[in-house]
Structure 1
């Protein structure tokens, strides 16, 4: 075949492929021209180019010394301007872009604070679709007019997320429900957006080979199909409710299956205030330390014991209220994303396993890693870090990422050293200097660890807002759950009754030592406070 004929063939192939792709994109997005793949790709490419110009022209082109105060001040300004550009792209393209923006908002250890703080608005204030779009999805999925199903439905949503928005409604029998309705064009955009994201990440990796962001693409590709299936979310809600049915202060809204499809989720409405609403907490006389303690117990149990972890605990998904008992109730919402077992590296296969828990091997290794941090045992840290995929001297950096504390604090004992503003400032100031190493850790670590890291970051954010980061109870509960996780596996591995009994006694002895240790530590701190006053 001649070069000319080959060139023509390639040309027509590209044109034909683009035409077919455009038509497929139009069909998938219900013929919304503004949402076709080439338009969304162009927006993303333009934004990336604009961000590049901001840094090249307004920062690197100034010829300033990187150690100078002027350079640092100008860098902060460029970070802020670039973050606002990125936020605008997320709000315009919506869907998966907002989901990625929310993920960025949780990466305190990886990105400058300007990006994290700017993108945090997406947790509770994502763009809202008009009510007619909501009605359209309800008609298509429930095969009835909204007025036939609901006596009333509030026009303003209770909340808007990346993939859906929630409206309060009343059924004709008087029941009050929360109706979660998927944004109408999310399904059609998702695959296109993931391809776009993958291309952009490959370009970034080519330009900056020291940064490894393929893990972010892989995780998003794995998680988005789960979050787009509201029936799966309903099953997750029922599963976690059953796991904690003995916990009277935890409430998970009941699913109304007769009014639930893959794009519409109807659940009983439970009133409360957002976990970060300090005015609501104060007005209702709720103890912030009680909130933190209960969340700590809940998530330690999920991670180290059950292995089924609600992995999107941003403030819009956790509500609190004063109970009739006089204490605090926790209301857990949005069950679309759970950290679960991944038995292989293929995306399609891992999605089908979404109802399984974290593997026993992973839970025990992670529990042992936490115990080694609490015990300040560097040899054990290195060993269990390697078992989780991080080998060599990077175990220290991994420990910092897991705990959200500096290495010096870890060596002194994180359960003895209260987090301070200077430590947080040092953490955010130094981490940007080792971004290649951090991205390398995220690229190599056990895939089950990624959502756990995100969950840890979001929980620390809640504690920071509630000003409860210094509570010792968190470490006590975590230590107890880690011990139970490790010893439970040992008991299961023993074949003789005598050995099972011996290991059980060892477990109770370890739990007793933890209780005794934190009791003594608490008494010491109390005595220091008394003497200080």
Structure 2
């Protein structure tokens, strides 16, 4: 049944996306398979992004979620698309109560027996589930019920996405192909986890425990007796929506303090705890009258392993110290930046990003200058987004937007610096740096002792005429072969040109014609080698496949 539905959905999806895909393909090659790249202005990109947004909304829950994920992936889509898709809200009309009631009663039994009161009008609706208000044992609760029939629809759509991926990869560049393959796997994993309410309950309780001693963070308690794989019942904690600044001001709540609390909470979750709430849009955050922040909806939540935590700390410390080289080193180490990147250009980009994060005025000519450097110096922009960082990036961008809404002068770097200093991370990083430097000095000293005797032996061998040097040149990309072909073609063309002139002067017209044809052939092959897009040029080196190959060779 799912297969049959998937085939039908594939046709529906193809009808929606094919015009956009063809337009994108024509941007890469004017005549689809041949021709130069077209220049597409921002207005055209915005128009296409709006058509993409409309298509995602028409295709329903799975593609709404996909659009939300794409809005956090600058390694997949241009900035104009990101801006348009960022407005995509997971807000759809609620399912019919009769259908939702069947799901609810299959999990917790008859509604009249399980709940003292139950309001059948949902207080919020989303693509995968909807939330109702009810009463259990005299306490108000929020009951989250999975949308009826959504499992089959999602599974069919995930198959469609898998079937469509090879087609998409044909039309995009290497950088986007790397990110799209990761994105498809990540999306399937994320949306299945979001439909598993038992997993959500476990993540919620773990994060709640991590903030048990905080008076500034409130997380609803789970009512286990009324929860299951498709139903999650929680403590009802109403508050003021975090981006409703007028209501917050009326209640006398310090918005600057709320912004700082929110940022510090996410720093703790990502850096210290290793488990975090990954969907911090304003609909999932509220503020109580005492200024405490309430978190809702833990369907999107993630974990960070120790290695990633360590590298994130190194990155934050480098940003706090405004150490550009250390920032680039940490990005390379974590797999976000290609080791082949032009460090001078990327250093300028990082300086600009830090200035923007601090809210400093940036002169337009400086922006244009850096953009020009990027276009002139980088074959393909060297950023990648490994799967283990996708949710972290989503959190960082969305949280910063919420904080700036609360406090337009919010300085993320200052808040992060203060937090890192209080937790001792900056001192720890400095100690580690000194220890590493000490090890390097010791290694250098040992080398100074070992090298002179070895150098003397080598020079003695060379003096006796017994020194043999074996050079092994690796050329897995065929660069030398291409150079040799060009050299031979050039020699053939040059020699034939002289021969043709000599034979023509001697009156041997038949030999002149043969020599001329040979010369033209040499000229043609020489011209084609320089026109070919597969000639000698830089290519992205930092892909997951390439890294695996390198590790295997090592």
Partner of 1:98: 64
- Does the alignment pair 1:44 with 2:7? no
Query: Computing the radius of gyration over CA atoms, which structure comes out larger, 1 or 2?
Result: 2
Partner of 1:347: none
The structure showing larger relative contact order (alpha-carbon pairs under 8 Å, at least 6 residues apart) is 1
Identify the match of residue 129 of structure 1 among 95, 100, 110: 95
- Does the alignment pair 1:229 with 2:196? yes
Deviation of 1:253 (Å): 0.6
Deviation of 1:42 (Å): 1.7
Partner of 1:454: 394
Deviation of 1:378 (Å): 3.1
Partner of 1:335: 298
SS at match of 1:123: coil
Q: CA RMSD in A?
A: 4.0
Structure 2 residue runs of 5 or longer lacking an equivalent are 436-554
Partner of 2:310: 364
Measure, in 2, the Cα distance between the counterparts of 1:336 and 1:459: 17
Measure, in 1, the Cα distance between the counterparts of 2:220 and 2:36: 56
Measure, in 2, the Cα distance between the counterparts of 1:58 and 1:209: 12
Deviation of 1:433 (Å): 8.0
Tell me the TM-score normalized by structure 1: 0.69
What per-residue deviation string (whole Å, max 9, x for no partner) do you get for residues 202-248 of structure 1? 21111223322111112112222322211111111111111111101
Partner of 2:112: 147
SS at match of 1:192: helix
Alpha-carbon distance change, 181 to 436 in structure 1, aligned in 2, over 3 angstroms: farther
| 8 Å Cα contact 1:339/1:448 also seen in 2 | no
SS at match of 2:294: strand
Measure, in 2, the Cα distance between the counterparts of 1:379 and 1:240: 34
Measure, in 1, the Cα distance between the counterparts of 2:373 and 2:196: 36
Alpha-carbon distance change, 124 to 391 in structure 1, aligned in 2, over 3 angstroms: closer
What per-residue deviation string (whole Å, max 9, x for no partner) do you get for residues 74-109 of structure 1? 4433332333223322x3xx2x32221221233467
Measure, in 1, the Cα distance between the counterparts of 2:92 and 2:382: 27
- Does the alignment pair 1:161 with 2:126? yes
1:106-505 to structure 2, matched below 5 A, reads 106-107=72-73, 111-112=77-78, 115-142=81-108, 144-171=109-136, 173-210=137-174, 211-212=176-177, 213-323=180-290, 328-340=291-303, 358-389=304-335, 390-394=337-341, 406-410=349-353, 417-418=359-360, 437=380, 441-442=384-385, 445=386, 447-468=387-408, 470-471=410-411, 473-480=414-421, 483-484=424-425, 487=428
| 8 Å Cα contact 1:300/1:481 also seen in 2 | no
| 8 Å Cα contact 1:177/1:267 also seen in 2 | yes
Structure 1 residue runs of 5 or longer lacking an equivalent are 1-22, 27-35, 341-357, 495-533
| 8 Å Cα contact 1:418/1:470 also seen in 2 | no
Tell me the TM-score normalized by structure 2: 0.67
Alpha-carbon distance change, 57 to 297 in structure 1, aligned in 2, over 3 angstroms: closer
Deviation of 1:419 (Å): 6.9
Measure, in 2, the Cα distance between the counterparts of 1:483 and 1:287: 27
Measure, in 2, the Cα distance between the counterparts of 1:421 and 1:126: 42
Measure, in 1, the Cα distance between the counterparts of 2:373 and 2:122: 38
What per-residue deviation string (whole Å, max 9, x for no partner) do you get for residues 54-88 of structure 1? 66899979x999779xx443443333233322332
Measure, in 2, the Cα distance between the counterparts of 1:431 and 1:193: 41
Measure, in 2, the Cα distance between the counterparts of 1:135 and 1:120: 33
| 8 Å Cα contact 1:124/1:316 also seen in 2 | no
The alignment covers a number of residue pairs equal to 423
| 8 Å Cα contact 1:124/1:159 also seen in 2 | no
SS at match of 1:134: helix
What per-residue deviation string (whole Å, max 9, x for no partner) do you get for residues 305-359 of structure 1? 1111211111111111211xxxx1100111123221xxxxxxxxxxxxxxxxx22
Alpha-carbon distance change, 481 to 179 in structure 1, aligned in 2, over 3 angstroms: farther
SS at match of 1:180: strand
Partner of 2:533: none
Deviation of 1:176 (Å): 0.9
Deviation of 1:417 (Å): 4.8
SS at match of 2:384: helix
Which one is further off, 219-228 or 478-487?
A: 478-487
Which one is further off, 153-162 or 103-112?
A: 103-112
SS at match of 1:302: helix
